[in-house]
Amino acid sequence: MFASSAVAQTGYYICRFGHTGGYACGTVAGSNYIANITLPSEPGGGIRQVGPLACVTAVQNGGQSQPGDSGGPWFLNNTAYGIHSAGDGSTISCFSQVNNALSRFGLKLWAG
């Protein structure tokens, strides 16, 4: 459970959990990336730009994100930082800042 949310800044050490890739941690490399996401389920395929995203490199404890990890949390201790969005399966994993998502949809973090 998360007690708070915050913006992940360049240099922060944070962790993620994904359904497929499991638990891993790394250092935020930057926060204004735009990712081109391929959507094979659309008729004829398709590419969409998603962003801005914060991205993590040098992930430890199990490697990079995998297909199926989207929507998983990025966090450290009880602070939520992001929602997993993309990765290249090799060196980069990216997430949407959780505060951007909360603000966009008029939501608040519930800390039950």
Query: How do strand 13-18 and strand 22-38 relate by DSSP bridges?
Result: antiparallel
- pLDDT number for residue 75: 92
Taking CA atoms, 38 is separated from 41, 43, 78, 82, 95, in Å, by 9, 12, 32, 21, 16
Query: In the chain, what are the domains?
Result: 4-104 (2.40.10.10)
Q: How many CB atoms lie within 10 A of CB 21?
A: 22
User: Could you give the CA distance from residue 13 to residue 46 in angstroms, rounded to a whole number?
Assistant: 33
For residue range 94-106, list pLDDT tens digits in order.
888 888 888 888 8
The pLDDT tens digits for 65-81 are 778 888 899 999 989 99
**Which pLDDT score, from 0 to 100, does residue 50 have?**
66
Stretch 42-57: mean pLDDT: 68
